[in-house]
């Protein structure tokens, strides 16, 4: 499950604005703002399209494994 903190961190890693993420995920910018603010629980479908957009941008999501959920840049393919 994509968290608001993961979304903010992922955007920061790839230097995307909220508007750019909204466009790439084909959702409204208000949706991204609300997701990152953590004010409400977004629909699963929304989380999925946002996560896929960030993954396409080069982000890899790290599941909760005792150290907390996180994000990192995917290693470049050679």
**CATH code where residue 22 lies:** 1.10.260.40
The pLDDT value given to residue 5: 93
- Domain-located, residue 19: yes
Q: How many C-beta atoms surround the C-beta of residue 64 within 10 A?
A: 10
- Domain-located, residue 36: yes
- Domain-located, residue 27: yes
More confident residue, 75 or 34: 34
Total structural domains within the chain: 1
Q: Which two tokens stand for residue 52?
A: 């896929």
Summarize pLDDT for 28-70 with one digit per residue, the tens.
999 999 999 998 889 999 999 999 999 999 999 988 877 778 8
The pLDDT value given to residue 77: 56
Domain holding 8, by residue range, is 4-73
The pLDDT value given to residue 27: 97
- Domain-located, residue 78: no
**What pTM did the predictor assign?**
0.89
Residues 6+ apart with CB under 8 A from 28: 22
């Amino acid at each position: 499950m994509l968290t608001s903190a993961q979304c903010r961190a992922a955007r920061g890693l790839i230097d995307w604005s909220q508007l750019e993420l909204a466009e790439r995920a084909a959702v409204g910018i208000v949706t991204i703002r609300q997701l990152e603010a953590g004010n409400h629980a977004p629909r699963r479908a929304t989380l999925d399209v946002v996560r896929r957009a960030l993954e396409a941008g080069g982000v890899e999501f790290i599941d909760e494994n005792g150290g907390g959920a996180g994000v990192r840049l995917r290693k470049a393919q050679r």
